[in-house]
């Protein structure tokens, strides 16, 4: 899965820095060994000689098994002796080995079989989460911090369910979506008035999916449009391009309808929605607009794709931001 260039560049810069630190540390260790256990250097040269002799024996094809056995026995003895000398000098027995941060890939990012190492994947996820935190306030934004108590328990008119029941189901659906996310997952449409937790659940999904190793782009719609419009004139200077918007594993467009409406914005939104549907790339879109408002603001084409190809999750209740501003009065006994 591809990541934005600035993310991969930073990841490999960090890995290069780790390798440099390992080399500098190794050079320091050699100086310490030279002072405290000089005999180790003699053994190291002998070990280098036996390694070369083993390779030569394999290539010669003559009496290979007997030669290899003798050489390997000598090699093992010298390795053990080297460890003993280091310990006798008050040093760890592996003190003469280069200590990489990740022993599986020696801080290159790739294992010997050419696969992406777990340390690189972790680093990419950390950098993606860092970028997410710069885009939105992700402090304490998790599924666990989504409080259902703010939603009324009275049943909605014409619907035999309360806002709390609806939001309990929405929370469960979003958690399951994040836990089971994979390329080709369904797209979601969060629809409902402002202040009901659409952004909270969007960011919770984004964080979980990033931690699972996928690249996610979360962005308010207006910020995305501003960036894409600037990129038309200054290609390559922004933190993401239309290519990544269309190709990322999961795109989350927050607050559709809050953007300044222009012919460019309308065309760009349709292009993003339609292109990702064609490529079966999942997208999550949140909006305060009603179905009728979406149709009149954009076009029947946009509406048909949201209604026909996205799973709609309704958000109902009272504005939580306003509820939180009302001070809770302490209970005073009679």
DSSP string, 39-50: HHHHHHHHHHHH
Residues in the chain: 334
CA angle 165, 175, 224 (to 5 degrees): 105
pLDDT of 66: 62
CA distance 199 to 210: 16
| Between 320 and 17, residue with greater pLDDT | 17
Contact 141, 200 (CB under 8 A): yes
- CA 167, 287, 308, 295 dihedral sign is positive
CA distance 170 to 162: 12
3-state SS class at 316: coil
Q: What is the mean pLDDT of residues 258-279?
A: 92
- Supply 98's token pair: 């280069």
Q: What percent of the chain has pLDDT over 70?
A: 84
CA distance 195 to 323: 10
Of 11-25, 55-69, 298-312, the range with the highest mean pLDDT is 11-25
Q: What is the mean pLDDT of residues 20-33?
A: 92
pLDDT of 304: 92
- CA 240, 245, 247, 248 dihedral sign is positive
| pTM for this model (two decimals) | 0.80
Q: What is the mean pLDDT of residues 212-223?
A: 93
Q: What is the mean pLDDT of residues 133-161?
A: 89
Q: What Å distances lie between residue 98 and 20, 119, 170, 198, CA to CA?
A: 11, 18, 51, 49
> Is 305 exposed, middle or buried, given 0-12, 13-18 or 19+ CB atoms closer than 10 A?
buried
pLDDT of 58: 61
pLDDT of 1: 65
pLDDT of 121: 94
| Between 330 and 36, residue with greater pLDDT | 36
Torsion angle, CA of 148/153/159/163, rounded to 10 degrees?
-20
The pLDDT-based confidence of 331 (bands split at 50, 70, 90) is very low
| Between 157 and 251, residue with greater pLDDT | 251
CA distance 332 to 210: 47
The pLDDT-based confidence of 237 (bands split at 50, 70, 90) is very low
């Amino acid at each position: 899965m591809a990541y934005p260039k600035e993310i991969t560049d930073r990841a490999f810069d960090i890995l290069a820095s780790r390798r440099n630190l390992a080399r500098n540390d190794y050079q320091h260790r050699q100086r310490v060994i030279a002072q405290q256990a000089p005999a180790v250097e003699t053994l190291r040269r002998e070990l280098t000689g036996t390694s070369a002799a083993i390779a030569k024996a394999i290539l010669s094809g003559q009496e290979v098994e007997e030669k290899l056995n003798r050489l390997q026995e000598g090699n093992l003895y010298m390795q053990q002796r080297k460890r003993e000398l280091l310990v006798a000098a008050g040093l760890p027995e592996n003190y003469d080995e280069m200590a990489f941060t990740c022993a599986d890939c020696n801080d290159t990012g790739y294992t010997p079989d050419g696969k992406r190492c777990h340390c690189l994947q972790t680093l990419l996820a950390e950098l993606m989460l860092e970028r997410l935190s710069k885009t939105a306030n992700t402090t304490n934004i998790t599924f666990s911090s989504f409080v259902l108590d703010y939603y009324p328990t009275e049943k909605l008119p014409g619907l035999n369910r309360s806002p709390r029941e609806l939001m309990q189901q929405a929370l469960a659906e979003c958690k399951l979506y994040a836990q089971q996310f994979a390329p080709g997952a369904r797209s979601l449409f969060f629809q409902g008035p402002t202040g009901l937790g659409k952004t909270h659940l969007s960011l919770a999904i984004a964080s979980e999916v990033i931690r699972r190793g996928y690249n996610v782009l979360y962005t308010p719609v207006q910020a995305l449009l501003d960036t894409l419009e600037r990129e038309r004139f200054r290609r390559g200077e922004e933190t993401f391009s239309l290519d990544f918007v269309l190709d990322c594993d999961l795109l989350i467009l927050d607050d559709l309808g809050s953007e300044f409406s222009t012919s460019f914005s309308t065309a760009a939104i349709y292009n993003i929605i339609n292109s990702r549907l064609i490529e079966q790339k999942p997208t999550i879109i949140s909006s305060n607009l009603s179905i009728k408002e979406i149709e009149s603001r954009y076009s029947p084409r946009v509406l048909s794709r949201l209604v026909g190809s996205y799973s709609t999750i309704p958000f109902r209740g009272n504005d939580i931001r306003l509820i939180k501003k009302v001070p809770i009065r302490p209970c005073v006994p009679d």
